[in-house]
């Protein structure tokens, strides 16, 4: 069995651009907890239990069931951001990007743009904006998530920089040329 550190290294090697890894791409020095102190603890536990059920259903491919359970979690505490973020993921997987964007907007609003859920919702919304060719909106979300310590968002900000993109293309061409040099042209006799 590999240690958590080994697993993180393997994740970085095999999936370097994955937006959501086990540590969520969040740097440890940034405090990213969701403030749920204003909610009744018993209701928070109930909402979290429902979310876990919804996540299980989504992972097994039952998106309709997952959406129903996430909606039940939202009904328990309508002001809690996490269930909106999770429901957005299920909506996106079903192809409902408009519904996903609506829920992501709610997640960002409910979180106040702070905490773990805000970071995840901003990245998810940024990816949807990129998909819809709304690059300025995507860049804004990635910058905000990067400010929360999200490494994936920081990498997206860099990739969306036109100068960085040009440098990356030039570097890729140089490496490709080194790996596959053109055969020398021999003079004809």
CA distances to 1, 77, 120, 145 from 149, in Å:
29, 27, 11, 7
Using only C-alpha atoms, the chain has a radius of gyration, in whole angstroms, of: 21
186 belongs to a structural domain:
no
| Residue 28 pLDDT greater than 70, yes or no | no
Q: What is the mean pLDDT of residues 37-45?
A: 87
Q: Indicate the DSSP class of residue 150.
A: B
Confidence of residue 13 (pLDDT cuts 50, 70, 90): very low
Q: Is residue 107 part of a domain?
A: yes
For residue 31, the model assigns a pLDDT of: 44
pLDDT tens-digit profile of 42-97?
998 999 999 999 999 999 999 999 999 999 999 999 999 999 999 999 999 999 99
Q: Is 80 part of a structural domain of the chain?
A: yes
10 domain residue, yes or no:
no
Tell me whether residue 184 is in a domain: no
pLDDT tens profile 161-184: 877 667 777 888 888 888 888 877
Is residue 1 included in any domain, yes or no? Answer: no
Residue 97 belongs to some domain of the structure: yes
Domain with 124, as residue range(s), is 24-179
CATH number at residue 91: 1.25.40.10
Structurally, the chain folds into a number of domains equal to 1
Give yes or no for a contact between 73 and 103, defined as CB atoms under 8 angstroms apart: no
123-146 mean pLDDT: 94
């Amino acid at each position: 069995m590999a240690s958590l550190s080994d697993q993180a290294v393997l994740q970085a090697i095999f999936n370097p651009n994955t937006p959501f890894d086990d540590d969520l791409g969040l740097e440890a020095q940034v405090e990213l907890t969701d403030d749920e102190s204003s909610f009744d603890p018993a209701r928070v536990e109930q909402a979290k239990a429902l979310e876990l059920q919804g996540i299980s259903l989504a992972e097994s491919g039952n998106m309709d069931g997952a959406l129903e359970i996430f909606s039940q979690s939202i009904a328990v505490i309508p002001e809690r951001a996490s269930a909106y973020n999770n429901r957005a993921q299920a909506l996106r997987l079903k192809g409902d990007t408009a519904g996903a964007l609506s829920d992501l907007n709610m997640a960002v609003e409910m979180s106040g743009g702070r905490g773990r859920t805000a970071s995840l919702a901003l990245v998810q919304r940024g990816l949807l904006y990129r998909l819809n060719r709304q690059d300025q909106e995507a860049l804004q979300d990635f910058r905000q998530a990067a400010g929360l310590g999200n490494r994936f968002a920081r990498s997206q900000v860099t990739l969306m920089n036109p100068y960085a993109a040009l440098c990356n293309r030039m570097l890729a061409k140089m490496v490709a040329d080194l790996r596959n040099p053109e055969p020398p042209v021999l003079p004809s006799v």
